Amino acid sequence: MSLFNEMSRRWLLALAGAAAVVAATPAAQAQRLSVATFAGGCFWCMEPPYDALPGVSATISGYTGGTTASPTYRQVTAGGTGHYEAVQIRFDPTKVSYETLLEVFWRNVDPLDAGGQFCDRGESYRTAIFVHDEAQRAAAEASKARLMESGRLPGPIVTPIIAASTFYPAEDYHQDYYQKNPLRYRFYRAGCGRDARLNALWGPEARGKAQ
């Protein structure tokens, strides 16, 4: 084989290898991602603390836990669908653990309230942890037990741990609402009493991250 042919062969092999790496990267990244789902009242307010975490690639507001297929916001908030407002989180478990997501969840909700969250009342605003496998269930149950045993909160935790079911993304205008409408978001959040209650329950630990 001539020197020219050998160099050409090596160049082609290197080019093919580089193309394979580029093509495989998105698939490899997708395979690394895990999913977590939490209901913490208004889903607008549950996106920011998770978006702030390194290792979280996406947060999606939506509806889950109910019986109505492809529900609308109007249907869910009217009641009767059984759905919760929830946020689904895509995360890289090599960069952020599910246990960390649980800690952030607790500190962004009032887990003592069985009737909703803050000013938002009704079944769609209840809290819940939706687990996607047995490992998540074990972690969620252990986290809840530790919190109950710690005496950190002034009452029993009513947040259920539920097997994840179909998750329906909410309408586009709900996605990233806090970024699209920052003034309206802050006005709603303050007016609903969310931060005041979180500060009363959690003190300096409230929210976990700046909103």
Buried b or exposed e, range 64-86, using 16+ CB within 10 angstroms:
bbbeeeebebebbbeeebbbbbb
- Would you say residue 201 lies in a domain? yes
Catalytic residues: 42
In this prediction, residue 43 carries a pLDDT of 98
- Would you say residue 77 lies in a domain? yes
The CATH number for 142's domain is: 3.30.1060.10
- Would you say residue 5 lies in a domain? no
> Inter-axis angle of helices 182-191 and 194-202, to 10 degrees?
60
**E-strand stretches of 41-109:** 56-64, 84-91
**Domain residue limits at 181:** 31-205
Q: One digit per residue, pLDDT tens: the chain, 211 residues?
A: 554 455 555 555 554 554 444 444 555 556 789 999 999 999 999 999 999 999 999 999 999 999 999 999 999 999 999 999 999 999 999 999 999 999 999 999 999 999 999 999 999 999 999 999 999 999 999 999 999 999 999 999 999 999 999 999 999 999 999 999 999 999 999 999 999 999 999 999 998 744 4
* Number of domains observed in the structure of the chain: 1
Question: HSE of 99 in the Cβ direction (CA atoms, 13 Å)?
Answer: 7
pTM: 0.85
In degrees and rounded to multiples of 5, residue 20 shows phi and psi of -65, -40
